Amino acid sequence: MTHLTPNALSAAELIAAVDLGSNSFHLVIARIVDGALQLLHREKQKVQLADGLDEQQMLSDEAMQRGLSVLRQFAETLKDMPPQAVRVIATYTLRRAKNSARFLQQAQAIFPFPIEVIAGQEEARLIYQGVAHFETYTGQRLVIDIGGGSTEFAIGVDFQPLKLASRNMGCVSFAKFFFQKGKISPKRFERALLLAEQELENIYTGYKATGWLQAVGTSGTIKTIKDIVSGLGWHPHVIRLEHLEKLQQLLLQVDQCEDLNLPGLTEDRKQLLAPGLAILLASFRMLGIDEMVYVDAALREGVLYEMSDRLQHQDIRQHTIQSLIKRYAIDTEQAGRVSQTLEVLWQQSHEAWQLGEEWRQLLQFACYVYEIGLQINSSSVQRHSAYILNNANLPGFNQEQQRVLASLVRYHRRKIKPDDVSAFYLYRQVDFYHALTIFRLAVLLNQKRRDDIVPAFNCIAQSAELTLLLPESWYQQHTVLAADLRTEQQFLKRAGLTLHCPGLPELSDEN
């Protein structure tokens, strides 16, 4: 997977973001003019992917086909754009579905762009970035986005999020469980309201303590409620708690969603008004929100702005790694040694092994976080480090990038167990093992944690082999490291890789 470069932008002139949401799929095409985004084209298709998710978290064939049909349309729109100019983000339903790999594999055949499944907190961060870039506000603010399967919450100031959360409640999933076949009743609404309040129990104390000066709502559900409030003449652009309570009373006057006749309510949103209102009303009450404004920017705009930032070499992932370094008191001198050695190995192997720039970045990140588990215990540090990386909130990393990083760290030393290594969708498995090989060697050669140990060396990569060319005199001076390299040959062999070390002395037959 690669990301947009300045040269690529001048060739493409455009960037695009695709949001595979639980209710709708969105496509936005933009260009960057003097550092600002200029939106050129939008497409939205209702898919209701979350409606196909059953109680066992399996996505139905019908829902998959609805999604694939829209991806075919999007592929036609994007056919003239280079892959590096398009970023595709999948949210709640595809991160929850146990059989999401099947959908992603089918999508590969018709949609020539990698699909990144992101964690809930990462979704909340991107939504916040979309709002923060779209509309300037000097104070602290709360952002809420009600999606088809989940609702995201963020508090931040300027471009810096302070709190991020994702709760498993959305207008499509609530419609399916509480308002089946469009039926409305006071009991159904109260049950939906109660579950939404329960979902908020874990975050409301921290959010209220952090506080905000402005509450912002984004996306279709809150836009619909804002349009109804405006259409009824209650307020031209602000949603207040009293408006939601009055709207609840109007809604409960009918027995079927299809019978709702309210200004600003379109046909395609009738089934989603009751569940969306229950979630927003619970949010207002639990968080103590007095009023909310609507902003017409969300996840896809956040993705576009982040692509723009990466063009200017402002990769949020760099900030994430720096935060981990500080939090876990990582030995940056040692990380720097490993990083320098890895750079030599990468420069001399990446062309033969076809390791792109994205692998270079992930490997460099791994150099600085492979020892974060030392704060737990130095024994099995690779396991502790991988656990932290698998379970931490890592802004800027999609779920698969996070798993790749954790896997590199998990197997940076000792035995490699291919059967335990995750299968990847965005990355080739062979690339992972090639990247792991040079990462392991970079760590091994620097295990004495000194600047004067690693000599000038060369390496030659081909197929499943790597030849490491070190001075023979070095092996004689560093017998322990030489023994470790012999052991490493055996570890790599079990993973289907051959490490050649010309001049490496054989084990002595003595004793």
Q: Tell me whether residue 375 is in a domain.
A: yes
Look at residue 313 and tell me whether its pLDDT is greater than 70. Answer: no
Residue ranges making up the domain that contains 25: 6-118+302-310
Q: Are 152 and 238 in a shared domain? A: yes
Q: Are 73 and 149 in a shared domain? A: no
Residue with the two structure tokens 């996840």: 299
Look at residue 6 and tell me whether its pLDDT is greater than 80. Answer: no
DSSP state of 313: T
Task: Label residue 419 exposed, middle or buried (CB < 10 Å: 0-12, 13-18, 19+).
Answer: exposed
Residue 5: pLDDT band with limits 50, 70, 90? very low
Look at residue 417 and tell me whether its pLDDT is greater than 90. Answer: no
Please work out, in degrees rounded to the nearest 5, the angle formed at the alpha carbon of residue 461 by the alpha carbons of 414 and 500. Answer: 55
Q: Are 290 and 349 in a shared domain? A: no
Please work out, in degrees rounded to the nearest 5, the angle formed at the alpha carbon of residue 106 by the alpha carbons of 103 and 108. Answer: 110
DSSP state of 38: E
Q: Tell me whether residue 357 is in a domain.
A: yes
- Per-residue model confidence (pLDDT) at position 409: 95
Q: How many domains does the chain have?
A: 3
For residue 409, the number of C-alpha atoms closer than 13 Å in the C-beta half-sphere is 30
End-to-end CA distance of the chain: 51
Contact 497, 464 (CB under 8 A): yes
Residue range 441-500, pLDDT digits in tens: 999 999 999 999 999 999 999 999 999 999 989 999 999 999 999 999 999 998 899 999
CA-based max dimension of the chain: 94
- Per-residue model confidence (pLDDT) at position 311: 55
Count the Cβ atoms, other than its own, within 10 Å of residue 94. 27
**Tokens of residue 349, six digits:** 């192997």
- Per-residue model confidence (pLDDT) at position 192: 97
Q: Are 51 and 154 in a shared domain? A: no
Q: Are 206 and 334 in a shared domain? A: no
Share of the chain above pLDDT 70, in %: 95
Q: Where are the beta strands (DSSP E) in 359-487?
A: 458-462, 465-469
- Per-residue model confidence (pLDDT) at position 508: 55
Q: Tell me whether residue 493 is in a domain.
A: no
Give residue 113's identity as a one-letter amino acid code. Answer: F
- Per-residue model confidence (pLDDT) at position 161: 93
Which residue would you say has higher pLDDT here, 149 or 510? 149
Q: Please report, for the domain that includes residue 98, its CATH number.
A: 3.30.420.40
Give residue 30's identity as a one-letter amino acid code. Answer: A
- Per-residue model confidence (pLDDT) at position 505: 86
Residue range 359-372, pLDDT digits in tens: 999 999 999 999 99
Distance (Å, whole) CA 241 – CA 246: 9
Q: Are 152 and 263 in a shared domain? A: yes
- Per-residue model confidence (pLDDT) at position 433: 95
- Per-residue model confidence (pLDDT) at position 372: 93
Q: Are 17 and 40 in a shared domain? A: yes
Q: Is the dihedral of CA 217, 152, 298, 79 positive or negative?
A: negative
Q: Are 80 and 54 in a shared domain? A: yes
Distance (Å, whole) CA 151 – CA 192: 14
Residue 14: pLDDT band with limits 50, 70, 90? confident
Q: Are 178 and 263 in a shared domain? A: yes
Residue range 129-178, pLDDT digits in tens: 999 888 878 899 999 999 999 999 999 998 889 999 999 999 999 999 99
Look at residue 300 and tell me whether its pLDDT is greater than 80. Answer: yes
List Cα–Cα distances, 149 to 24, 102, 202, in angstroms.
11, 20, 18
Q: Which of 95, 92, 107 is nearest to 48 (CA)?
A: 92
Look at residue 2 and tell me whether its pLDDT is greater than 70. Answer: no
3-state secondary structure 150-207: CEEEEEEECCEEEEEEEECCCHHHHHHHHCHHHECCHHHHHHHHHHHHHHHCCCHHHH
Alpha helix stretches (DSSP H) within 170-315: 171-178, 186-200, 204-210, 219-231, 241-251, 270-287, 299-311
- Per-residue model confidence (pLDDT) at position 7: 40
Residue 499 zone, left/alpha/beta (φ > 0; ψ -120 to 50; rest): beta
- Secondary structure of residue 24 in the 3-state scheme: strand
Q: Tell me whether residue 425 is in a domain.
A: yes
Look at residue 103 and tell me whether its pLDDT is greater than 90. Answer: yes
Q: Please report, for the domain that includes residue 265, its CATH number.
A: 3.30.420.150
For residue 422, the number of C-alpha atoms closer than 13 Å in the C-beta half-sphere is 19
Residue range 28-80, pLDDT digits in tens: 999 877 666 788 999 999 998 999 999 899 999 999 999 999 999 999 999 98
Q: Tell me whether residue 505 is in a domain.
A: no
Q: Are 54 and 203 in a shared domain? A: no
Q: Which of 296, 329, 364 is where one domain is finished? A: 296
Q: Please report, for the domain that includes residue 353, its CATH number.
A: 1.10.3210.10
**Per-residue DSSP letters for 76-130?**
HHTTTS-GGGEEEEE-HHHHH-TTHHHHHHHHHHH--SPEEE--HHHHHHHHHHH
Contact 169, 279 (CB under 8 A): yes
Residue 509: pLDDT band with limits 50, 70, 90? very low
Average pLDDT over residues 222-232: 95
Q: Which of 450, 472, 497 is where one domain is finished? A: 450
Phi and psi of 500, rounded to 5°? -100, 135
Q: Tell me whether residue 112 is in a domain.
A: yes
Q: Which residues of 488-505 are buried (b: 16+ CB within 10 A; e: fewer)?
A: bbebbeebebebebeebe
Which residue would you say has higher pLDDT here, 131 or 510? 131
Average pLDDT over residues 214-225: 94
Q: Are 200 and 290 in a shared domain? A: yes
Mean pLDDT across the chain, nearest whole number?
90
Look at residue 431 and tell me whether its pLDDT is greater than 90. Answer: yes
**Tokens of residue 262, six digits:** 């309210």
Long-range Cβ contacts of 7-13 (<8 Å, 24+ apart)? 8/82, 8/84, 8/85, 9/85, 9/311, 11/82, 12/81, 12/82, 12/84, 12/85
Q: Which of 244, 264, 296 is where one domain is finished? A: 296
Q: Are 198 and 321 in a shared domain? A: no
Look at residue 3 and tell me whether its pLDDT is greater than 60. Answer: no
Average pLDDT over residues 107-119: 94
- Per-residue model confidence (pLDDT) at position 18: 96
Look at residue 345 and tell me whether its pLDDT is greater than 90. Answer: yes
Least confident window among 246-255, 320-329, 344-353: 320-329
Least confident window among 1-10, 104-113, 145-154, 474-483: 1-10
Task: Please report how the helices 219-231 and 241-251 are oriented relative to each other, as an axis angle in degrees rounded to 10.
Answer: 90
- Per-residue model confidence (pLDDT) at position 314: 58
Distance (Å, whole) CA 87 – CA 137: 27
- Per-residue model confidence (pLDDT) at position 10: 44
Q: Tell me whether residue 187 is in a domain.
A: yes
Q: Tell me whether residue 477 is in a domain.
A: no
Phi and psi of 300, rounded to 5°? -65, -35
pTM metric for this prediction = 0.79
Share of the chain above pLDDT 90, in %: 74
Look at residue 510 and tell me whether its pLDDT is greater than 70. Answer: no
**Tokens of residue 451, six digits:** 């600047």
